[in-house]
Amino acid sequence: MTKNELPKYVYADRDYVRFIRRARGQSVMMKEEPGTPEFWDHYKRLLKGREPVPAKRNFEALILSYYESDAFKKLKPRTKADYRKYIGHVRAIWGTKDPAKIETHHVYELHRANADRWRQANYLVQVMVVLMNHARLIGFLKKEHGNPAKGIPLFKQESDGWEPWPDDVRAEFEKVATPRARLVYELCLGTGQRIGDVLKMRWNHIRDGEWDFTQGKGDKPMWIPFTDRLKAYLATVDKKGLTVITDLAGRPVRYRTVADEMRKVKAKMEHPDAATYVTHGLRKNATIELYQSGCDDEMVKAVTGHSGVEMLKKYGGMIRQRELATRAQDARNRFEQNRKET
């Protein structure tokens, strides 16, 4: 097709043709064969206005930028893994979408769509808050737009969290547990810490029955004296490596390895509900025992490392309220007695 045969605004350009309309600032390479239906379809779209430019500001670019940010690189390995899981979900559904076009109702609908798994749904919203904050930092969102993921009402926890292990479950577990599973059990119960921190415990962090460490969640420095029970149990444990919990070769073990071992032990137990009690529930057992021993909130927090009273309410439950109420009423009784005597 010669120039005289090419339609208006179309010019030959090497092996292709180019649509040029300077008044509109259009200059678009047309790779379709002139005269074909595809060519005329493209031509008509160009006549109507500027051809849409593929958006570079999409979630794919935003996510890749976030992964390169200092904020992501500073996260703990476990947190990074969780973020990647939920960011992957966002990437799959909104990868090509411009973050600037996301509004609060979109995030709300995403949250509601996962209502059958409330914990995961809440985590999705939290990840969206992080991503949209990063979008503002790199110029994908304007300041006046705010963060559309903020203010989404999260699903409330339907229970008081992980259930503490009942006495009968604990008794059977102690009888049938493998040596490493029993060690994990004793450490979680005796220290009241998360399994992630227990797995990192090193022998050189323990001196005279006291553990000096930093909690993985929140980087909180902690110093905890062991209970007499835990001291006695650790005295029977061989020191195979740097960490207290190891594999047969004395190397540190991963969380999943230990979690699988704990599940296998409970699967073999006779108690019908054994499998429903997770390792994290032992942290709740420790919290309850502290309250039953007469500790107040500050004393419990000093051992478990909980940052606020709200979490203590979940972990301590009615035991916390009962023990505090008993101590309060005992104090009133003593006050009344002293007043009568005077």
Q: What is the 3-state secondary structure (H, E, C) of 82-143?
A: HHHHHHHHHHHHHCCCCHHHCCHHHHHHHHHHCCCCHHHHHHHHHHHHHHHHHHHHCCCCCH
Within a domain: 227: yes
- Domain boundary residue, one of 85, 114, 145: 145
Within a domain: 123: yes
Q: Does residue 276 share a domain with residue 190?
A: yes
Q: Does residue 98 share a domain with residue 37?
A: no
In the chain, helix, strand, coil percent, each to 5? 55, 10, 35
Within a domain: 331: no
Q: Does residue 186 share a domain with residue 241?
A: yes
Q: Does residue 87 share a domain with residue 30?
A: no
Q: Does residue 301 share a domain with residue 193?
A: yes
Output the pLDDT for position 23.
72
Residue 33: which domain range?
10-48
Sheet holding 210-214, edge to edge: 206-207, 210-214, 221-225
Residue 221: beta bridge partners? 214
- pTM (2 decimals)? 0.62
Q: Does residue 227 share a domain with residue 250?
A: yes
Q: How many domains does the chain have?
A: 3
Per the listing, tokens 């107040």 go with 296
Q: Does residue 183 share a domain with residue 321?
A: yes
Q: Does residue 193 share a domain with residue 268?
A: yes
pLDDT in tens, 291-333: 999 888 899 999 999 888 878 887 887 888 888 888 889 888 9
Q: Does residue 44 share a domain with residue 66?
A: no
Q: Does residue 41 share a domain with residue 68?
A: no
pLDDT in tens, 119-135: 899 999 999 999 999 99
Within a domain: 153: no
Average pLDDT score over the chain = 88
- Domain boundary residue, one of 145, 179, 197: 145
Within a domain: 192: yes
Residue positions counted in the chain: 342
CATH number at residue 301: 1.10.443.10
Output the pLDDT for position 33.
83
Q: Does residue 311 share a domain with residue 217?
A: yes
* C-alpha of 260 from chain center: 20
Within a domain: 220: yes
pLDDT in tens, the chain (342 residues): 555 678 988 888 777 788 888 777 677 878 788 888 878 888 888 888 755 544 478 998 899 899 889 999 888 887 888 899 999 999 999 988 999 999 999 999 999 998 888 889 999 999 999 999 999 999 998 877 789 999 999 887 655 567 899 999 999 999 999 999 999 999 999 999 999 999 999 999 999 999 999 998 778 899 999 999 999 999 999 999 999 999 999 999 999 999 999 999 999 999 999 999 999 999 999 999 999 998 888 999 999 998 888 788 878 878 888 888 888 898 889 888 888 876
pLDDT in tens, 149-187: 999 998 876 555 678 999 999 999 999 999 999 999 999
Helix (H, G, I), strand (E, B) or coil at 18: strand
Q: Does residue 313 share a domain with residue 195?
A: yes
Within a domain: 229: yes
Output the pLDDT for position 54.
47
Output the pLDDT for position 315.
82
Within a domain: 294: yes
What are the E-state strand segments in the chain?
10-13, 16-21, 26-30, 206-207, 210-214, 221-225
